[in-house]
Amino acid sequence: NAGVMQNPRHLVRRRGQEARLRCSPMKGHSHVYWYRQLPEEGLKFMVYLQKENIIDESGMPKERFSAEFPKEGPSILRIQQVVRGDSAAYFCASSPPSFYNEQFFGPGTRLTVL
C-alpha cells in the first residue's frame, strides 16, 4: 500500500506567482489534512478536508490560500501571489474514515519563494 504522496517535493516560485501543491492520500483514506512547517518551528494545522468538503479551515490564512479535495484526483493546496513568508515545508496527511485521528504524513513539499 503506497503511502501518502506529495508533489512536487521541491517548488521554487518568484514573488507574485502561484504555487500548487498536490497530495494523494493513502488508498482507502478519505480525510486529508494540510500542515505548514516554518523553519525551526513545529507543524501548524491549516485545513482538514473530506471528499468535496472543507471540514475545518481554521488554520488557513484568510487571503491567497485555498484548498480542495475533489471527488476524483488529489487534494490541492493553492497559494496565489506568493510572498517570501510563504517559504516553508507543506505537509499533507491522510487518515482512514474509521479512525480519523491517526494521520499518516507525506514527505512534504518544500516551497521556496525568491
**Which residue ranges make up the site for another protein (CB under 8 A)?**
4, 31, 33, 35, 41-45, 48, 55-56, 58-59, 91, 93, 95, 100-108, 110
Tell me how far, at minimum, the Cβ of 21 lies from another protein, in Å. Answer: 13
Tell me how far, at minimum, the Cβ of 81 lies from another protein, in Å. Answer: 26
DSSP, residue by residue, 8-53: -SEEEE-TT--EEEEEEPPTT--EEEEEEE-TTS-EEEEEEEETTE
Specify the 3-state DSSP secondary structure of 58.
coil
Q: Which is nearer to another protein, 41 or 63 (CB)?
A: 41
Q: Which is nearer to another protein, 35 or 69 (CB)?
A: 35
CA distance 54 to 50: 6
Q: Which is nearer to another protein, 55 or 83 (CB)?
A: 55
Specify the 3-state DSSP secondary structure of 81.
coil
